Amino acid sequence: MTKVTSIVVGAGLAGLSAAYSLARDSIDVLVVERGDYPGAKNITGGRMYFLPIRSLFPELWDEAPWERHIVREVLTGVSKCSSLSIEFSNQKYNNKPYHSFTILGSRFNKWFAQKVAEKGARVINKYKVDDLILDNGKVKGIVVGGAQIEADVVIAADGTMSQIAEKAGLRGKREPQDFALGVKEVIALSPQTIEGRFRLKADEGIAQLFVGSLTKGMLGAGFLYTNRDCISLGLVLGIKDLTDCHLNVMPYELLEEFKLRPEIVPLINGGESVEYSAHVLSESGIKGMPKLFGDGILVAGDAAGMAMNMGLTVRGMEFAIASGALAAEAVRMAKKQNDFSAGALSKYQDLLKESFVWKDLNTFRHAPDVLANPRLFGEYPQLACTMMEKLMTVGEEPKKKLSTTISKELRSRLALSLLRDSFRFWRM
């Protein structure tokens, strides 16, 4: 039977980061990825916040295939026939080191995997890890393509639905409200068209979030990110709402409706749809984390539930990269002692607790409860649009005082709920 020091299951950002760190420390590592190539199955929005991970692999970032650095944020509330946008731009976002970048998983992970291979790791594609070799609950390797490969340690970086963490007995039962479904389309446009339509200079990009009637009252939001020569447009929808709801509407239908909105049509007009994807995201934050270590095993990235929806931002990519690197650090320490027991590998959790990953997930631990509020996705965006309509429209009748219009709207609709929800929001 073949034996290696470490096996990484999954060539997403978590797995590649772990493998790169291990190979850089000259630790024998094998990466097994079920996709045709690293990046083939990695779906993200995606905007990556750069500053938290900048110091991890400084030698890599200058040549990374970033799409555009974000210089403008737009938050748009939509009702059936109107929309209200808040735009935020910051000159500082145009200074290096850039605050955040858009990326395409298919390009970025492919490049990252090349760097991993150049460091000396072996990356095998088109193979799904079917099982773990277990001996009295201790992980001793993997079963892949009918063969067994032994290892001192396995890093499960196999994404949100991690079967590897489950097989190792590290994950408990999860509920539909712990997940969301993302559907995304990539629409090709020339860089000049993108820059003209979005008022951007070369390399600059925007991130836009949409909330309101586009999700038909379900927990969720729309997103639009500009890449170098394409736009990423998609929706994230709570799975519990999708399955409970009696609207009988499919996520791809909602995405089609989203594309037909007057705010979107002129932005994607003439573009060619070049990629369509759907993927599950973890929505439960720190509460949804499995046990992160066991005898001969560690869990990183989405497999460990390290994703966070803060309403205004979705984060997971920096958590994946950082947790992969910390898992590798724990393996390096374990190898020094030649001890891969759960006790030795628990160092991973200590390292995580000192890092931004744990701290941010813990700070925003109430976010899933606060966001599980249908008013945020229906009534409030509607209220904002109605109020603007009343303020901006001059009709045949004499116009009322602005204060009268605002207080009437607030009183007649949701004043009490708004107060209660603002108080809940304070917990975030």
- Other beta carbons within 10 angstroms of residue 315's beta carbon come to 21
Strand partners, 326: none
Name the token pair of 290: 């499995």
Piece in contact with ligand FAD (CB under 6 A), picked from 245-253, 311-319, 369-377, 419-427: 311-319
Nearest of 299, 298, 295 to residue 339 by alpha carbon: 295
Residue among 79 and 227 whose Cβ is closer to ligand FAD: 227
Phi, psi of 104 (to 5 degrees): -115, 125
Binding of ligand FAD at residue 34 (CB under 6 A)?
yes
- Residue 351: what residue type? L
Piece in contact with ligand FAD (CB under 6 A), picked from 214-222, 315-323, 341-349, 393-401: 315-323
Spatial separation of the C-alpha atoms in residues 245 and 397, rounded to whole Å: 41
Binding of ligand FAD at residue 35 (CB under 6 A)?
yes
Binding of ligand FAD at residue 285 (CB under 6 A)?
no
- Tell which one of 22, 30, 32, 70 touches ligand FAD (CB under 6 A): 32
Binding of ligand FAD at residue 302 (CB under 6 A)?
yes
Spatial separation of the C-alpha atoms in residues 367 and 378, rounded to whole Å: 18
Burial-class residue 387 by CB neighbours within 10 Å (0-12, 13-18, 19+): middle
Binding of ligand FAD at residue 139 (CB under 6 A)?
no
Q: How far is the CB of 232 from ligand FAD (least distance, A)?
A: 8
Binding of ligand FAD at residue 234 (CB under 6 A)?
yes
Residue among 43 and 194 whose Cβ is closer to ligand FAD: 43
Binding of ligand FAD at residue 399 (CB under 6 A)?
no
Contacts (CB under 6 A) with ligand FAD, residues 59-118: none
Q: How far is the CB of 282 from ligand FAD (least distance, A)?
A: 8
Residue among 114 and 337 whose Cβ is closer to ligand FAD: 114
- Other beta carbons within 10 angstroms of residue 170's beta carbon come to 22
Binding of ligand FAD at residue 45 (CB under 6 A)?
yes
- Tell which one of 7, 9, 29, 239 touches ligand FAD (CB under 6 A): 9
Piece in contact with ligand FAD (CB under 6 A), picked from 170-178, 187-195, 209-217, 314-322: 314-322
Where residue 104 falls (left for φ over 0; alpha for ψ -120 to 50; beta otherwise) is beta
Binding of ligand FAD at residue 123 (CB under 6 A)?
no
Q: Reply yes or no: is the peptide bond before residue 46 cis, omega within 30 of 0.
A: yes
Residue among 39 and 77 whose Cβ is closer to ligand FAD: 39
- Tell which one of 149, 281, 383, 385 touches ligand FAD (CB under 6 A): 281
Binding of ligand FAD at residue 315 (CB under 6 A)?
yes
Binding of ligand FAD at residue 42 (CB under 6 A)?
yes
Binding of ligand FAD at residue 13 (CB under 6 A)?
yes
Piece in contact with ligand FAD (CB under 6 A), picked from 28-36, 75-83, 327-335, 404-412: 28-36
Spatial separation of the C-alpha atoms in residues 322 and 13, rounded to whole Å: 9
Spatial separation of the C-alpha atoms in residues 208 and 410, rounded to whole Å: 27
Where residue 124 falls (left for φ over 0; alpha for ψ -120 to 50; beta otherwise) is beta
Query: What is the contact mask toward ligand FAD in residues 171 to 200, using x (rule: CB under 6 A)?
Result: -----------x-x----------------
Binding of ligand FAD at residue 287 (CB under 6 A)?
no
Q: How far is the CB of 420 from ligand FAD (least distance, A)?
A: 30
- Tell which one of 24, 47, 167, 335 touches ligand FAD (CB under 6 A): 47
Q: How far is the CB of 277 from ligand FAD (least distance, A)?
A: 8
Query: What is the contact mask toward ligand FAD in residues 148 to 167, using x (rule: CB under 6 A)?
Result: ---------xxx---x----
Residue among 123 and 189 whose Cβ is closer to ligand FAD: 123
Would you tell me which residues interact with ligand FAD (CB under 6 A)?
A: 9-15, 32-35, 41-48, 128-129, 157-159, 163, 182, 184, 234, 236, 279, 281, 301-303, 307, 314-317, 320
